[in-house]
Amino acid sequence: MILIKLGGSVITDKSEYRKFNKDTVSRLADEIRRSGQEVIIVHGAGSFGHVVSKQFNLQRGYEGDSQIPAMARVMCDTRELSSMVIEELLARDIPAVSVPIGSCFVADKGQLIIENEEPLRRLVDLGVMPVMFGDVITDRSTRFSIVSGDQVMEHLCRMFNPSKVIFVSDIDGLYDRNPKTDKAARMIGTVTKKKMDEIAMESDVDDVTGGGRNKMEAMLRMTDEHRPCYLVNGNAPNRLYSLLKGETVTCTVAKGGLQ
């Protein structure tokens, strides 16, 4: 099984509130289906989550009642995004079901807690793909918190022990500087813990879950000596397909764990 995160930067336009990149998601769904691989998908929230979350400081947890309607708004928007992703998968005969994290799980201090894995395991046993996503969720300490799709990936990685993990983003791979604003930026083919520490990475769009460096750390945490984790550009047609088929493509591969 292969675990894939479709980043919010590729499935939405992060600079425009609630803009879904339908054509891109449709193509990526097709690439997944054509690969014939057994896959589980997590997706980010993109402009369906970050815009309102930032406006109302939802990443800080509960600070006042004025945040509550915003929390409900974000949860409505992320569900709508997820439904649109599911529609594209169903259109390719991939039986996928949206599983909002807050529907059966809770968080504590921003950390997702999955005490009952049974619903997820049963879906997978049935041959149904559970699709989870970054979202606002109730929290035992901060009353609510934002949990990123990357965190969900880590849980699913522990639960399902995938052979590879793939992050689909809007860049070719990891760079030593921001490739969108700095022409001197160079792509890094292989990331290890040592290399990671040397990289000063910035994200060019503010987001409430920490940007590129956190995502790379999360990637490394999901690797071990047998399992690589890739960052690949989903805007380049067939790159995800080739990676799923085990071919060599332009991407960054993380290896060797975080130790």
What is the binding site for ligand IPE (CB under 6 A)? 7-8, 44-46, 49-50, 53, 74, 78, 134-136, 146, 148-150, 207-209
Quote the least distance from Cβ 89 to ligand IPE, whole Å.
17
Quote the least distance from Cβ 146 to ligand IPE, whole Å.
5
Task: Write phi, then psi, for 14 (nearest 5 degrees).
Answer: -70, -15
Strand partners, 138: 144
Show the tokens assigned to 28: 């990526």
Gap between the Cα atoms of 129 and 5, Å rounded: 13
Quote the least distance from Cβ 108 to ligand IPE, whole Å.
17
Gap between the Cα atoms of 15 and 5, Å rounded: 20
Quote the least distance from Cβ 38 to ligand IPE, whole Å.
22
Quote the least distance from Cβ 125 to ligand IPE, whole Å.
26
Cβ atoms within 10 A of the Cβ of 251, count?
24
Q: Which is nearer to ligand IPE, 57 or 192 (CB)?
A: 57
Q: Which CA distances in Å does 233 have to 7, 171, 252, 257?
A: 10, 5, 10, 22
Q: Which CA distances in Å does 127 have to 1, 2, 100, 132, 216?
A: 12, 14, 19, 16, 30
Q: Which is nearer to ligand IPE, 31 or 154 (CB)?
A: 154
Show the tokens assigned to 149: 């799709």
Q: Which sign, positive or negative, has the C-alpha torsion 212, 142, 79, 219?
A: positive
Quote the least distance from Cβ 194 to ligand IPE, whole Å.
26
* CA-closest candidate to residue 143, choices 51, 53, 55, 63: 63
Quote the least distance from Cβ 150 to ligand IPE, whole Å.
6
Say if residues 61 and 142 touch (Cβ distance below 8 Å): yes
* CA-closest candidate to residue 3, choices 146, 131, 139: 131
Q: Which is nearer to ligand IPE, 138 or 192 (CB)?
A: 138
Q: Which is nearer to ligand IPE, 204 or 247 (CB)?
A: 204
